Chains A and B, each alone.
Chain A
Amino acid sequence: MMVKPLAAVFSMLLLFGAAKLPFEHRLEQEDRAAFFHGAKLSLGLRDQVGQLGFLAALSGFRSLVADFLWIEAHTAWEGTQWGRMALLFNNVTTLQPRVVMFWDMAAWHMAYNASVAAMQDPKQPRLALRLRAQREYFELGKDFLIRGIENNPDRYLLYERLGIVERDKFGDHCAASRRFGEAAAIRGAPTYEKRFMAYELSHCPGHEREAYERLLALYKTGRREWLPTLLERLEYLQKALNIPAAQRVNIPEKKL
């Protein structure tokens, strides 16, 4: 007569299920607020990582799948297969969106390595097309960083890397300054982010006064901040803004 105990157990499991659901719901919300379980596994991923990889990722082994794909991307790099790398990086970052290093490296490969390779492509004689391909890889690198920031808004590194890409690859100092500023605002960010923000602001047309005030504030914090670039930008702005001689900071020659 196993029917009665089975029915009792079934009812008990249902009752426990009803009791635990609100707790699980709250816990899930807390987890999400602490950036847990952020990976969004869609059916599109299944086509790219294969049925087995997708099954493994769904079964709680997404970090392992991501690592295998990362190693595959490394092999693709050795073979300079840039398109394949971009695809693999997309999958890796989808599976492990909280690993900042994956976003950072993916962006670096695209914006720095792939873009240079595109520019030096011996199979493409037309400069215009090579330039366009290079620009596309810059954009791809930037896109990785932007998506990385969306998934890791609490970490400074990707804001900093985006600032560097804006500065070095797009020549957009205003955007770079904003990104360094965002990095500086994050807890635990290195102190140089504020300096980088002010440097870039000094190159941003129309923001010279603000840049001057920021650099001056840094200068006044003490000798530790009297770095060659800071002194050089400060001197440049003093001249550009026609700061009265009495208010100017005396820049030591040897520091320049």
Chain B
Amino acid sequence: MDTPHKIFSPARLWAIASNTLLELVRLKVFYFLLLFALLIIGSSAFMLDFKFQEQFQVLKDMSLGSMSIFSWLLAVLATAMLLPKEIEDRTLYTILAKPVPRLEYILGKLLGILALLFVSILLMSVMFVIALYIKQQAVLTDAVRGLPPEQTADVIRGVKASAFTVSLIPCVAMIYIKSALLASFTLLASTFATSSIFTIIVSFVVYFIGHVQGIARESLLASPNASALSKVFLAFVSLLFPDLRLLNLTDDVVAGNAISSAIFLKTAGLGLSYFCVYTLAAYLIFAFKEL
């Protein structure tokens, strides 16, 4: 006896997501990790003349900045290729010809991307923590050499406070949420775009607008000569695009700012709500798309 067809099946969702992840891995997207490793090793090597605080500052900035760049590029480039490639290969028609709802298909694809981003950011974080630990040990060995025992504890405390801090964890979480948001927006763009290039360009432009709109708003509101038209345009931009600057807490946390759980949860909540809205929008367009 056949099992009745379910409207929504986690098993089908998982099958699509794992296949998407597998496809992306086969595209050798993880090569960028090698570049990431070279960057953090390189940034550690040419800072030997610096004070240890400077070394840690640059290492953290470089690592988190590279993590942010790579996860952004990965989110946009991998997502932008998904639908056009599936249409070109005609895999999409084979899947949708079966009783697979479009919601499952689109969610499965997105979950595959999210898994890829998760694995990538996790691997980069592990490499970052290892680099930070090696640097910390090197600095400690240098710093305590020849010091009287009563000063050693203070120096060790100072070095450790400059190296790994718990506040770096929310930073990495925010990088993941931001890249997930960008992946969902790219998916939305790819549902109505006619080519991958167009999707990539739209996503890059939105990324840039997302970061600049806050600064533009501030400067426009402060300017007495701002025209009504430019204010209306900016209001429209603010309504339509995410303010990505709000999701960027990393720079200030690395600078030593304490991040409260309230700020982190609100910021993460904002990022996740964008993610949900863009995913829903992507589904709505994809559901009515003539294939």
Contact = CB atoms under 8 A, between A and B. Distances in A.
Interface of A: 1-2, 4-6, 8-9, 12-14, 16-18, 20-21, 23-24, 27-28, 30-31, 34-39, 41, 58-64, 66-67, 70-71, 74, 96, 98-101, 105, 155
Given A13-B239, A64-B61, 12 more contacts: A2-B290, A5-B287, A6-B285, A9-B284, A24-B246, A24-B270, A35-B252, A37-B252, A60-B68, A63-B61, A66-B61, A67-B61
Residues of A contacting B: mostly: helix
Contacts of B65: 61, 63-64
B246 A6 contact: no
Contacts of B47: 71
Contacts of A70: 54, 58
A52 to B, nearest CB: 13
Interface stretch (B16-24, B105-113, B136-144, B253-261): B253-261
Interface residues of B, number: 58
B250 interface: yes
Interface in B188-213: 188, 192, 207-208, 211-212
22 contacts: A4-B288, A5-B284, A5-B287, A6-B192, A9-B285, A13-B240, A13-B281, A17-B240, A21-B239, A23-B266, A23-B270, A24-B243, A28-B243, A31-B249, A36-B249, A38-B252, A58-B208, A58-B212, A60-B211, A60-B244, A64-B61, A101-B51
Nearest to A64: B65
B244 A74 contact: no
Interface of B: 46-47, 49-51, 53-54, 57-58, 61-62, 64-65, 68-69, 188, 192, 207-208, 211-212, 214-215, 238-240, 243-246, 248-252, 254-260, 262-263, 266-267, 270, 273-274, 277, 280-281, 284-285, 287-290
Contacts of A18: 239
